[in-house]
Structures are given as C-alpha cells and as structure tokens.
With several copies, the nearest count.
Chain A
Amino acid sequence: MDIEIRRKGRALIVSLGGELDLATAAEVKERVDAALAENSKVHHLIWDLENVDFIDSSGLGVLLGRYKQIQARAGKVVALKAVDPVRRVLRMAGMERIMQFADTEEQALAQIGGR
C-alpha cells in the first residue's frame, strides 16, 4: 500500500494507493496514528482515495477508527476523489453520516471550513 501523509494548515492529508483490506490496514493505522500523535495542531483529516481501487470492511475499520480520534479533536473527516466502487462501499456502510465527500482538494479544504 502506498501511503503519503502531509499537513495543510490544520488538516492532515493522507493519500493512499492500492487495496485497503486486512493485509494493508495495520500499516495505514500505524502511520496515520503516528502523524496524528505528532501533530496536535491537526484537527481535520482528508483521505485522498483517488488511487484506492478496493476497500472492504477491514478498510472501513481504518477510516472509522481515525474518525473517532478526529471527533475527539472536534474536527471533520473528508473522503477525497473516491472512485465509484469505493464510494459505493462507503455509502453502503453509512460513512456519509460521519464524513463528507469531495472531488478536489480545494473543495475538501472548504468543507472543513478552510481552517
């Protein structure tokens, strides 16, 4: 799994590439949790899912776990550029109740209030 993490203002932008399942979940969790622990100024989390072509419930578990941490920081979570099959799984699991969807980074940053 390709994992790229950068900070933009008060948002952490995590770009993933590959298939997000049980085999790759642990590494994503670790990397993102470490970045969140290091950056106490970060309130929001943007998942750039453009290059994720598969996700199942183990992958959703990764997103949900990180959502709980962001919630504790009173921040927002955005799913950016999710491709159709991935977006379908996210919706089916009701993830639109806890995260927003965006098609561009600007849109994502605007949705979290530009902060």
Chain B
Amino acid sequence: METVENKVVMRFPSKAANIGFARTAVALFASQLEFTLDELDEIKIAVSEAVSNAVIHGYKGTEGEITVTCRLTNDRLEITVKDEGRGIADVEQALEPAFTTEPEERMGLGLVFVREYMDKLEIDSEPGRGTSLFMIKSPTQARVHS
C-alpha cells in the first residue's frame, strides 16, 4: 500500500533567480529517498526546465506565482510544477523535440529533457489558465532511508 511519507509545497514569484533555488531545494527534499547522485542531477534538470518554462513561457515577462509541490511515498517522488500563466495551446506539439514558440531564443529541448529524465510526465494545461507538470521518479536501487 502506498502511503504519503512526506510533502513540501513551495511558492515563489516567477524570477529567474528562483530556478536554482527550486531545483536545489527539490533535490534536497528528494535525498530522503535513496536516489543516486546521477538521479538527483536528473531531478534537478527536470525541475529546472519546468520552472524555467513557467518563467519564460507561462508568465513571459510579467510576474506571477509558481508552485512546486513534492510528495514522497515509500518508493517514489512526485513533483508538480504549476503556473497560472498563458497555458499551452497544443501539448502534443510542445512535447516534440525542437518545437518552441521562441525560435530565436530557445531550443525546444526543455520538455524533452523532463520526459527523458523522469519516469513519468503528465501535462495539464489550458490556454489563458496556466500549466501544471506532474512528474514521477523512483530510485532505481533502494528503499527509503531509515
């Protein structure tokens, strides 16, 4: 049976300076499970991409709020990164490698990295309402620290 062992909710404004805070704080929280250093790096990248997208695409210049929620069960970490920004018109398209609505500036690799590095990715988005990325990752090797 799955039980929620721990949880943290973090809310902060969509400033680029908070991207580093968010990914490091999530990795810190994640280290309660026996992730390898490589896996913690992967989690950091996924969070970095998700929060960067909320800053750049979700709020695009304006300032809004980003919420990062981590839930820890005995064998997995669930991360949700949520903005209340512009939303994504076509989620399938957004997931395509090299697709970006900012071709001058961006590579269209962010969501590709998230999908590559996490075990699961679900995107819930509505134009004008915002975007929520739900991600899951489990340690490959072991159980919860005692």
- Give the A-B pair count, Cβ closer than 8 A: 53
Known: A23-B16, A57-B49. Contact between A85 and B107, CB under 8 A? no
CA distance A54 to B52 in the complex (A): 14
The interface-forming segment of B37-45, B75-83, B88-96 is B37-45
Q: Which residues of B contact A92 (CB under 8 A)?
A: 113, 116
Asked if B19 is an interface residue, CB under 8 A from chain A, the answer is: yes
Q: Which of B81-139 contact A (CB under 8 A)?
A: 105-107, 109-110, 113, 116
Known: A22-B52, A22-B56, A56-B48. Contact between A93 and B109, CB under 8 A? yes
The interface-forming segment of A6-14, A58-66, A74-82, A104-112 is A58-66
CA distance A54 to B107 in the complex (A): 18
**A60–B107 contact, CB under 8 A?**
yes
**A23–B41 contact, CB under 8 A?**
no
**A21–B20 contact, CB under 8 A?**
yes
A 2-36 to B, binary, CB cutoff 8 A, 1 in contact else 0: 00000000000000000101110000000000000
CB distance from B113 to the nearest CB of A (A): 6
- Residues of chain B at interface, number, CB under 8 A: 22
Q: Which residues of B contact A57 (CB under 8 A)?
A: 49, 52, 106-107, 109-110, 113
Complex A-B: 12 CB contacts under 8 Å: A21-B19, A54-B41, A56-B45, A56-B48, A56-B49, A56-B52, A57-B109, A58-B48, A60-B109, A89-B113, A93-B107, A93-B109
